[in-house]
């Protein structure tokens, strides 16, 4: 009989806010952490890299504080190309002062080549 190994589910490393049971966002850093209703003050962490599930569970067990990870909408992390509408990392977009474009849309269109004139002798 074939044995199946338990494979861990590959969860993407998404960006998340940490919220308490009242819906407030974790803000600040280190020993100056606090909860706020102001989303613009919230810290954003990487779900896997920062080991969010393990840390949330440890805080629940040791402090009795219930927290949840709330995904940051992609539109708030990535830039949208104004030409093709795709989302890109900010490092992969270009801003010309009025528009955001991706590398493909930023490329100038290829100009048709003219046939070279040969001199007749």
pLDDT at 119: 57
pLDDT at 118: 64
Distance CA 69, CA 35 (A): 14
Distance CA 12, CA 55 (A): 17
Residues of the chain with pLDDT below 50 are 1-4
């Amino acid at each position: 009989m074939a044995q199946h190994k338990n494979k861990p589910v590959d969860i993407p490393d998404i960006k998340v806010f940490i919220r308490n049971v009242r819906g407030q966002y974790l803000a600040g850093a280190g020993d100056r952490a606090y909860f706020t209703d102001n989303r613009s003050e919230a810290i954003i962490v990487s779900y896997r890299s920062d080991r969010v599930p393990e840390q949330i569970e440890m805080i629940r067990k040791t402090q009795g504080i219930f927290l949840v990870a709330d995904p940051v909408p992609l539109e708030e992390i990535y830039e949208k190309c104004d030409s093709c509408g795709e989302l890109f990392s900010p490092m992969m977009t270009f801003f010309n002062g009025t528009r955001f474009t991706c590398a493909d849309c930023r490329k100038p269109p290829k100009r048709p080549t003219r046939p070279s004139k040969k001199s007749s002798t």
